């Protein structure tokens, strides 16, 4: 006979029907508001990370959330959560099972639970894989969602960041387009001493494990931590990035066999179907805080050296499980992308079989199938991307790497792949996430006293990316300099340069520049880069102020100059006709030998 299931919803009991013999209790927690994380915790079978009956591979928990008024439906993967508080207790066993959901509509949401059990059920696509695992299988319930109460940069105030078929991503709540800047390094951001596991002291590259001690002073009262105060330094590092006006952070989630070796979701280096539950809960604390600060999460799912580690480069059971576990635990976050692989393909020093066209397309396809929200999917270059373009591919963009010390390839590469995606029939959102070269890239402030490296980075890479129609740029730290891609533990090492990123974001945010409607066209200016909405608004970046000629159609225009080094208010300029039909905007207001931005609008 059926039993009544007691569902605890913020202290209010509601009813649902269970078709099985054990009485279960479901806890719904979190702020029941639009875009906030809502967590369903179920009482399920008592298991352990190390049980013979594998709780990760041999159980499949899916929760379907439906919103009648909008017709929306999301099938959200769930996961084994040990005792439900593993981030604090380090528990490896328990009877708690979980699913996270970020609702995008107010009003009533109905959920239904599927809980299956059987060999490889987690990676099976068969509806009736294995058999019912009983407990919460078949449970139904509902909850009501109110409007968000968050403001400012918190993504819960702005909504999910979505690929909408254009060259830029859009925030669903506010409708604003999003430009990102932040560090691409250190890639081993999550190689952190306060996370659970034995990677810190097992004799394998322990010297690369971070303390983030320099950012302990950036931790604030009331910020999250775990296990009685652990994690404060890495939380402080995020606080610092946000305080500098940056809006993204990048990290590998898997680098077994790579440059660092200390970052992975598993219980050890060699077991690829057992997840370290407590470590994942601790990662989640970090990711939640980042999103509340307005920091986009760049998940780099594989490093070049381990692209073939899990399944010999194929998208087999271990790869599918990896994707499922990452999405189940972190896919509810609002602003992120899945980067299939750093330096992907047959390239460089290969320690495992490379992923080629078939496998690279299959990776994106599988991520798309598992992720209920269809987050932005990109890939990093090793091999070129021509074989990944087009409407049939699930890639929605690319994460570029360049190789010139002066960053001179950035502008052209961003423009090239933007155009190639148009020709292939599906626009990509293009970001340059490793501008410069591997040896030097973005130098620390102390290594660039004359500002030469930073000038090239500011002009050729930062402004060069956005003036080519790119949507983001992230900064690699060269391995031949202090505070490198593997050794950096202090983001203040580039403190001076972060200001240029903030200045650029403020320029686009404060001056009503419709960049999402503009096209790169450097032929319209006598020097530098140009982004234009023909006949209406023209934006130019010039490496040296001097005089700049625009090819403008007839009409009345205003001219404003902007200083990309110091920011501030726009400064008035003037126009005059010159020979050949071009229009001259005159000299920059001061320091004509330095770089300037010119904004020309039709009155």
Q: What is the pLDDT of residues 174-184, one digit of tens each?
A: 999 999 999 99
Q: From the centroid of its chain, how far is CA 352?
A: 26
Confidence (pLDDT) at 591: 86
Res. 16: pLDDT tops 60: no
- List Cα–Cα distances, 210 to 90, 214, 263, 354, 427, in angstroms: 20, 10, 11, 29, 39
Confidence (pLDDT) at 577: 72
Do the beta carbons of residue 279 and residue 287 sit within 8 Å?
Answer: no
Kindly indicate the confidence band of residue 4, based on its pLDDT and cuts at 50, 70 and 90: very low
Res. 8: pLDDT tops 80: no
Dihedral angle over CA of 517, 523, 528, 533, nearest 10: -20
50-98 residue pLDDT tens? 999 999 999 999 999 999 999 999 999 999 999 999 999 999 999 999 9
What value does the mean pLDDT of the chain take?
A: 94
Domains 3-145 and 516-602 share a fold: yes
Tokens of 144: 């009501």
Res. 168: pLDDT tops 80: yes
Q: For the full predicted model, state whether its pTM sits above 0.85.
A: yes
Q: Which residues lie below 8 Å from residue 4, measured CB to CB, with a gap of 6+? A: 15, 16, 17, 18, 23
87-128 residue pLDDT tens? 999 999 999 999 999 999 999 999 999 999 999 999 999 999
Q: Concatenate the DSSP letters of all residues of 562-600 into one string.
A: E-TTT--S-EE---EE-GGG-EEEEE-SS-TTS-EEEEE
Looking at domain 3-145, its CATH architecture is Sandwich (2.60)
Confidence (pLDDT) at 278: 98
Res. 245: pLDDT tops 80: yes
For 519-530, b/e burial (b = at least 16 CB within 10 A) is ebbbebbbbbbb
Of 2.60.40.1180, 3.40.640.10, 1.10.1040.10, 3.40.50.300, the CATH number of 516-602 is 2.60.40.1180
Confidence (pLDDT) at 21: 33
Could you say which DSSP state residue 146 is in?
Answer: B
Share of the chain above pLDDT 90, in %: 91
Q: Could you give the CA distance from residue 28 to residue 380 in angstroms, rounded to a whole number?
A: 38
Average pLDDT (598-603) is: 95
520-533 residue pLDDT tens? 999 999 999 999 99
Tokens of 317: 């059971």
Which helix (H) or strand (E) is 37 found in, with range? none
Kindly indicate the confidence band of residue 24, based on its pLDDT and cuts at 50, 70 and 90: low
For 230-268, b/e burial (b = at least 16 CB within 10 A) is bbbbbbbbbbbbbebbbbbbbbbbbbbbbbbbbbbbbbe
Of 3.30.450.40, 3.30.1600.10, 3.40.50.300, 3.20.20.80, the CATH number of 161-510 is 3.20.20.80
Whose tokens are 């996370």? That residue is 195
Res. 543: pLDDT tops 50: yes
Do the beta carbons of residue 327 and residue 278 sit within 8 Å?
Answer: no
Q: Could you give the CA distance from residue 191 to residue 486 in angstroms, rounded to a whole number?
A: 10
- Return the domain boundaries, the chain: 3-145, 161-510, 516-602
479-510 residue pLDDT tens? 999 999 999 999 999 999 999 999 999 999 99
Confidence (pLDDT) at 437: 97
Res. 148: pLDDT tops 90: yes
Res. 548: pLDDT tops 50: yes
Tokens of 312: 């010999």
Kindly indicate the confidence band of residue 579, based on its pLDDT and cuts at 50, 70 and 90: low
Average pLDDT (217-242) is: 98
Confidence (pLDDT) at 388: 98
Average pLDDT (244-257) is: 97
Beta-strand pair 93-101/72-77? unpaired
Whose tokens are 């992907």? That residue is 344
Confidence (pLDDT) at 7: 44
Confidence (pLDDT) at 275: 98
Task: Cite the DSSP H helix spans in 355-484.
Answer: 357-370, 410-424, 452-456, 464-466
Q: Could you give the CA distance from residue 332 to residue 329 in angstroms, rounded to a whole number?
A: 8
Confidence (pLDDT) at 578: 63
**Which among 373, 320, 336, 328 has a CA at the least distance from the CA of 100?**
328
Confidence (pLDDT) at 588: 87
Q: Which residues lie below 8 Å from residue 399, measured CB to CB, with a gap of 6+? A: 298, 337, 339, 378, 379, 380, 381, 431, 433, 434
Res. 270: pLDDT tops 50: yes
Confidence (pLDDT) at 261: 97
């Amino acid at each position: 006979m059926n039993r009544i299931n007691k569902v605890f919803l913020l202290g209010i009991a509601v009813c649902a029907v269970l078709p099985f013999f054990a009485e279960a209790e479901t806890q719904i927690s979190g702020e029941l508001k639009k875009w906030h994380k809502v967590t369903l915790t179920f009482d399920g079978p008592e298991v352990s990370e190390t049980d013979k009956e594998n709780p990760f591979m041999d159980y499949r928990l899916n929760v379907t959330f439906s919103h009648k008024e909008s017709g929306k439906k999301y099938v959200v993967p769930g996961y084994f959560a040990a005792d439900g508080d593993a981030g604090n207790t380090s528990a490896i066993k328990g009877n708690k099972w979980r699913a996270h959901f970020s609702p995008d509509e107010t009003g009533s949401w109905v959920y239904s639970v599927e809980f299956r059990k059987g060999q490889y059920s987690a990676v099976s696509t068969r509806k009736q894989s294995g058999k019912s695992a009983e407990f919460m299988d078949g449970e139904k319930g509902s909850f009501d969602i109110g409007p968000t109460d968050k403001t400012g940069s918190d993504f819960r105030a702005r909504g999910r960041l979505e690929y909408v078929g254009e060259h830029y991503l859009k925030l669903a709540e506010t409708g604003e387009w999003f430009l990102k800047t932040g560090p691409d390094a250190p890639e081993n951001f999550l190689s952190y001493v306060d996370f659970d596991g034995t990677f810190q002291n097992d004799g394998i590259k322990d010297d690369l494990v971070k303390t983030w001690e320099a950012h302990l002073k950036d931790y604030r009262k009331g910020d999250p931590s775990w296990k009685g105060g652990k994690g404060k330094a890495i939380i402080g590092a995020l606080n610092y990035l946000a305080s500098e006006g940056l809006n993204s952070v990048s990290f590998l989630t898997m680098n077994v066999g790579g440059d660092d070796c200390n970052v992975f979701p598993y219980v050890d280096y060699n077991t690829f179907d057992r997840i370290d539950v407590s470590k994942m809960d601790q990662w989640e604390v970090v990711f939640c805080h980042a999103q509340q600060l307005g920091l986009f999460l760049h998940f780099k799912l594989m490093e070049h050296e381990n692209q073939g580690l899990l399944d010999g480069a194929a998208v087999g059971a271990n790869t599918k499980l990896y994707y499922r576990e990452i999405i189940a635990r972190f896919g509810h976050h609002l602003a992120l992308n899945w980067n299939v692989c750093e330096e992907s393909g047959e390239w460089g020093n290969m320690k495992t079989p490379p992923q080629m066209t078939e496998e690279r397309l299959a990776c994106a396809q599988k991520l798309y199938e598992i992720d209920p929200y269809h987050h932005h999917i990109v890939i990093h270059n090793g091999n070129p991307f021509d074989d990944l373009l087009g409407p049939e591919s699930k890639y929605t963009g690319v994460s570029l790497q360049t190789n010139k010390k002066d960053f001179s390839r950035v502008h052209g590469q961003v423009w090239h792949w933007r155009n190639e995606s148009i020709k292939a029939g599906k626009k990509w959102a293009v970001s340059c996430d490793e501008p410069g070269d591997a040896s030097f890239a973005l130098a620390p402030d102390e290594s660039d006293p004359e500002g030469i490296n930073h000038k090239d980075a500011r002009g050729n890479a930062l402004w060069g990316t956005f003036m080519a129609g790119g949507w983001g740029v992230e900064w690699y730290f060269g391995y031949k300099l202090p505070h490198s891609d593997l050794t950096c533990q202090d983001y203040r090492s580039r403190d001076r340069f972060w200001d240029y990123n903030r200045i650029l974001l403020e320029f686009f945010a404060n001056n009503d520049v419709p960049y999402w409607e503009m096209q790169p066209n450097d032929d319209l200016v006598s020097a530098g880069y140009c982004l234009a909405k023909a006949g209406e608004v023209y934006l130019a970046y010039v490496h040296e102020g001097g005089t700049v000629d625009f090819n403008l159609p007839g009409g009345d225009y205003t001219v404003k100059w902007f200083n990309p080094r110091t920011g501030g208010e726009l400064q008035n300029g003037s126009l005059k006709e010159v020979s050949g039909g071009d229009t001259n905007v005159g000299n920059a207001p001061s320091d004509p030998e330095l770089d300037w931005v010119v904004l020309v609008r039709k009155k």
